[in-house]
Structure 1
């Protein structure tokens, strides 16, 4: 099957009809029917049966759809890349960040930046780390900010500074802001954030290095702000970066941990350097926050 066959096939599978597939692809219905017929001949398969006037995918079509979804996703990314290349935005900076940084680090940075560059418009998006890296590669973002991001070909990074990892608990906690040892942390009720993201992986490695990885969390929340909200209600303690710990609505107690841990805050952009004065200026504003 050719790429055009796969594109039409996916459109039919997604919409359920030739007419809606034609509308999605901005072509005529006869053109879609012709490509579908050619695809079936080329593959030697019947992909759809007509049942009461509707297209019913065959078992072969369902298997083929499952196997070609990754290819279709890559094609969509290529289209996004081509569209963003054509835009060549000037006087406009597209910034992505983790949700927690969108509530803590980014607002004061934008305030300072807008004071110096009032004619540069900004678009702010919050995404998770992998989504930020993908958006940079497809040129949907000019700049991203994340915690300890993994290395990725085609992506350059610079550490802006570091933020401590802290223990978060309910506001009325009797211990106040006294340090929490990692051993005492895992021996009590604690809230894990998993190890699928860089912060969770770093915390997991630190516990393993101290021989404390045999203690299971009472609750695991893969969203940092959910972990913070649970800790605020006294369900358990959570280890989070200080920026996240201080950015939520619920009142919490934030305590240092021993031995101390910290996580790097990084600016990310495509290889080749930031091409605009505004992008470099925004990185300088972020770096000044940690200075």
Structure 2
């Protein structure tokens, strides 16, 4: 009794499946004598008689039936593993862990993530709101695949790619005294009750610097890292706010006025990833989609 090899198994399965030497040979694209020789070698290695002829028909022995039932179990397992490999390769299986600055953890990232998950029912996704510093730390520790942060990082082993750019606009409660103005400046908001984005990043610093340089005081009544919360508070008359244009437009149904803010304050976001390891296929696919979306958005409209 020898050792079964993959070719012998393939021929045995072909004969069992198709019921004859002729059909098996056609399926394998080999000659009938080649199949017959391989079956002989299979029997020698397996240690049992595999087939017998009765009235011109090739019939499997009881031993072959038992063995074939086991082989089919193995083949089903291999087919399952092939499907798993295919899904992993095309980003359809696995996990995707993304850390997102709170201002982006709502509509912007959710819309794109929902788009990416279409057809990827076996891909588990974790979307966690984090500060920029926490995102950089998590990427370094490899507890997330990548992050979307408000500012770039110069930490060793970290890659930063600009992925979003927008502008700050002013939102005001319905009926506000400035509702008719298309553009709002710092002086217009002197003494106003203010709802602030609690980002503590370069945008917040830039906005504070604009007001401080002009000696313009505001009454900060509330703050939140969530754009939706800020927009809700404004719609309830708590105060005015400066938010990114996309957030203002996304929640405009709440009922408030939107006006441009001058001087213009740019709002940027960065995709933070690690250079110390390869990104998983699912994360790489989502990253590529986000960067492609950004590249398309930057193209001038005709």
Shorter-chain-normalised TM-score: which range? 0.5 to 0.7
CA-to-aligned-CA distance 1:220-272 (integer Å, 9 cap, x gap)? 42434443333222232111222433455833322211122211121111234
Query: What is the TM-score normalised by the length of structure 1?
Result: 0.59
CA-to-aligned-CA distance 1:157-184 (integer Å, 9 cap, x gap)? 1001201111121245472572212221
CA-to-aligned-CA distance 1:90-125 (integer Å, 9 cap, x gap)? 832111112331211112211221236555332211
Q: Corresponding residue for 1:198?
A: 202
Match of 2:172 among 163, 169, 184: 169
Q: Corresponding residue for 2:107?
A: 104
Q: Name the larger-Rg structure.
A: 2
Match of 1:271 among 269, 275, 299: 275
Aligned partners of 1:165 and 1:241 also within 8 Å = yes
Aligned partners of 1:191 and 1:238 also within 8 Å = yes
Any unmatched runs of 5+ in structure 1? 1-89
- Within a 5 Å distance, the mapping from 1:69-88 to structure 2 comes to none
Any unmatched runs of 5+ in structure 2? 1-92, 298-302
Distance 1:277 1:240 in 2: 34
Distance 2:101 2:143 in 1: 15
Q: Corresponding residue for 1:215?
A: 217
Aligned partners of 2:103 and 2:225 also within 8 Å = no
Query: What is the TM-score normalised by the length of structure 2?
Result: 0.57
SS of 1:157's equivalent?
Answer: strand
Match of 2:244 among 241, 244, 256: 241
2:136 equivalent to 1:130: no
- Within a 5 Å distance, the mapping from 1:1-291 to structure 2 comes to 91-115=94-118, 117-173=120-176, 175=179, 178-193=182-197, 196-208=200-212, 211-225=213-227, 226-248=229-251, 250-272=254-276, 274-290=278-294, 291=297
Aligned partners of 2:97 and 2:127 also within 8 Å = yes
Note the aligned Cα RMSD (angstroms).
3.0
SS of 1:107's equivalent?
Answer: helix
